[in-house]
Amino acid sequence: MEGEKEILNALSGHEKRAQQKKVREEAHEEKETAQAEKEKKRNYFWIIITIIAIVGFAVIVMWLYKSKPQMYTDREIHWHAAVDLSICGEKIDLPCGKETPGTVHGKDFCGEHLMHHHFDNTIHIEGLIQKKEDIALGKFFDIISVPFDKDKILDKKNGDLCPDDKPGKLKMYVNDQPREDFRDYIPIAVQDARKQVIKLVFESEETTTNSS
């Protein structure tokens, strides 16, 4: 009987240790599972943060791209156009309606750095152009403070008399081709002014008709 009792005690002790081991293993598994869940949540958190950061960066890049002003030229330019101005048959040098301090390329100039002339009957267009309207012919004459429109130049307007007592009219030509855009004319991209000659002629309509 004592032998059987010892066996039972041994078995119960073994079972007890087995049960304790099982409890420890289950506790360990629960701890690992909890740790894995915690790690998974942490990973999800950083994945979400990364996605938000990527989307936010993309949105900012798109906004900057859309808000960035579209430039007419993609680099600094230096274009020229010759101006041939005549009033009632008399050649007139390109005037300057305001004093401009300083120099450009070491020369006195009239206007602004973007558009000016060096008292040489040549329009100089220099810099980075944002909008084509910034270099329109009308803009140039505004910059040098000289009246100019489709029906007037300097102190002459259509209908004013020339010395021959006949009413005059303003005509515009570019490289000898008649133009009707006057102030809206956008100079073309040439460096040699001889390849872009803007002729502004105010003369009696009779002379204009005969010359055409």
Q: What is the pTM of this model?
A: 0.66
Q: Taking every pair of C-alpha atoms in the chain, what is the biggest distance, in angstroms?
A: 153
Q: How confident is the prediction for the chain on average, in pLDDT?
A: 86
Taking only the tens place, the pLDDT of each residue in 164-208 is 999 999 999 999 999 999 999 999 999 999 999 999 999 987 655
Residue 71 has pLDDT above 60, yes or no: yes
Specify the pLDDT at position 202.
97
Which carries the bigger pLDDT value, residue 148 or residue 15?
148
Residue 210 has pLDDT above 60, yes or no: no
By the 10 Å C-beta count (0-12 exposed, 13-18 middle, 19+ buried), 109 is classed as buried
| Nearest-angstrom CA–CA distance, 170 and 158 | 6
Tokens at residue 67, please?
Answer: 């808000």
Length of the chain: 212
| Nearest-angstrom CA–CA distance, 165 and 167 | 7
Report, as an integer, the average pLDDT of 115-123.
96
Q: How confident is the model at residue 114 (pLDDT cuts 50, 70, 90)?
A: very high
Per DSSP bridges, beta strands 107-108 and 103-104 are antiparallel
Residue 63 has pLDDT above 90, yes or no: no
Report whether 117 contacts 155 (CB < 8 A): no
| Nearest-angstrom CA–CA distance, 83 and 200 | 8
Report whether 183 contacts 138 (CB < 8 A): yes
Taking only the tens place, the pLDDT of each residue in 16-44 is 677 777 777 777 777 778 787 888 888 88
